[in-house]
Chains A and B, each alone.
Chain A
Amino acid sequence: MTVSTAELMKGNEALAEAAIRAGCQAYFGYPITPQSEILEYLADEGRRRGMIVLQAESEVASINMVYGGAGAGARVMTSSSSPGISLMQEGISYIAAAQLPCLIVNVSRGGPGLGTIQPSQGDYFQATKGGGHGDYRLIVLAPSSVQEMADFVYDAFDLADKYRNPVMILADGALGQMMEKVAFRDYNPKEHTPAKPWATTGKPRSRERNIITSLFIEPEKMEQINIRLQEKYAVIREKEVRSECFMTDDAEYGIVAYGLAARVAQGAVEIARSHGIRAGLLRPITLYPYPSDAVRALAERVRGILVVEMNAGQMVEDVRLAVEGRVPVTFAGRMGGIIPSPDEVFAALENLTTQDVALHAETY
């Protein structure tokens, strides 16, 4: 297989195409805007190329099918948008506890409630802090372009298999709907998919039976399972953190933003530079594990940090935890499906530069 030449594609379709190329064997999902193109693309193109594609009766069924398929040893995925992801949370917790590899895509939209179908980053807490019950974490990847909508699918499946952990791609409606050029990676699924001797495939005489379960009724056993999970998350935090910097080398002021908000923030950095303000952008790519060290390193270089999100201020808490009061951290965000403009973000940045730094003021 070779790298294909760049094609113009919607984010959702690029993600779906990458899933086929990543060797995803089965997709289970339920329609919801703004991500139904994933199901539609796979129902057509995926089925044609041998993928099992099942439109389930609900997101509850979808995520439990993902559990069954992953437990049976296959590369499997689901996708949805915010309300559907909320509905999946019990199942995601089971998958994390049973240590099953899978991909869950959230092309998120504005909430709470039925909300709006416009793009939002309101699901950051849900994605990164363990949205369901119990102490568990997903690995969370945040694309900010159509190219990354495709690229992160391969990465997600590889990480899921490597750690036997569910991985989420947290995008938003704009990334799902926008069209950009995308090239598909040279990738042979066979070389990337490990053997899964733990899967339920039918017990031959030569081995003990395989059991997929999240039930450990004795608290001592359950604590051991928890300890093992925490050890795994510690390794993930050590090895899998990803972030990207834009013009931070000489920056006096830093912006931290991910996904679509990072594109807007990059525009604001350029405006700031044209006004003689040396601004730079740090873009977290993994939202869990969080690039706390990179944020800390940024805080040691700059006079203040502005966090830009399309929500009421969620990731800003992780930034503040990493900065530990070294410099003021302010926040600028829009909610409910509104994308902030680069000018708005620039205004918030100017505000930060003119503030009395000792005040540690917040702009909500």
Chain B
Amino acid sequence: MDTVQVDPIAEGLECVYARPADTLTETRLHYCPGCGHGVVHRVLMEIVEELGIQDQTIGVAPVGCSVFAYHYMNIDMQEAAHGRASAVATAVKRLHPDRYVFSYQGDGDLAAIGTAETIHTANRGENILMVFINNAIYGMTGGQMAPTTLLGMKTSTSPGGRTIETSGYPLKISEMIALLPGVAYVTRQSVHTPNAVRHLKKALLHAFRYQKEKKGTCLVEVVSNCPSGWKMTPGEANEWLEKNMFPLYPPGDIKVPHS
């Protein structure tokens, strides 16, 4: 079927938002409708474009739903093994200390299989940014329990709801990371409302600035959704997120640099 290309601006509509043309490719996102991943990609690439650092930024994609982040982000990128993005990013940064380096990881990637790499990268105070997408579930593999899954939350591997007896407590890894002296900045943001997206952008901007100032490791957690894994509509998912995720994962700064 042929699609008719219409130029909305030529049709007299006002342009209120444009894709960051240099840093975000025109590839169609493979994410489910309403998924937070796409929004975080966009905000990240807006920053790279606005700061004019496309030629100075190297990203590391995880294994998880965002494994194809490099299809969308028009910058040099490496795709790491599951959980090892911060180890890969460490090496990239050590060899190119003048570049901005970030890893982009889900909760399974960063807080389960990759916990050792996450903690030790932060403990070395590597001058990188970890973007941590906490959707409390394993999206890519079909909705299994994550370390961040809430108590009582149903997933395909906690069909009766997560219990402490079988699975212990939801892991608040950002709070753990914040305790490490090598870490400069830890903040928790979200993407479920336009206002939240604005706050996220500000937080990411801070993180890029701190990296430039060589302040140490920065971690930006994004409380996100997984409408497919949660078996909700995007609207329901965003409401559920605010009501159920925020009490355990409250948004706001956890650690900020001294000066």
Contacts and interface: CB of A to CB of B under 8 A. Distances in A.
Interface of A: 25-26, 28, 52, 54, 56-58, 60-61, 64-69, 71-74, 76, 90-91, 94, 200-205, 209-215
B99 interface: yes
A68 B67 contact: no
Interface stretch (B87-95, B146-154, B180-188, B211-219): B87-95
A69 B97 CA distance: 12
Given A61-B120, A210-B76, A67 B89 contact: no
Contact of B94 (A52, A94, A213, A215): A52
Contacts, number: 120
Given A64-B117, A203-B55, 8 more contacts: A28-B91, A67-B78, A67-B88, A67-B91, A200-B58, A209-B74, A214-B79, A215-B79
B117 A61 contact: yes
Contacts of A205: 54-55
A212 B95 contact: no
B8 to A, nearest CB: 28
5 contacts: A68-B91, A71-B92, A74-B95, A201-B99, A204-B55
B158 interface: no
A118 B56 CA distance: 47
Contacts of B88: 64-65, 67-68, 71
B80 interface: yes
Nearest to B71: A211
Contacts of A204: 55
B116 A202 contact: no
A64 B87 contact: yes
A231 B227 CA distance: 44
A121 to B, nearest CB: 28
B92 A200 contact: yes
A211 B87 contact: no
The winner among B94, B99, B116, B120 for most chain A CB atoms within 10 A is: B94
B19 interface: no
B86 to A, nearest CB: 9
Given A94-B81, A200-B58, A203-B54, A61 B95 contact: no
Given A57-B116, A72-B92, A201-B96, A64 B84 contact: yes
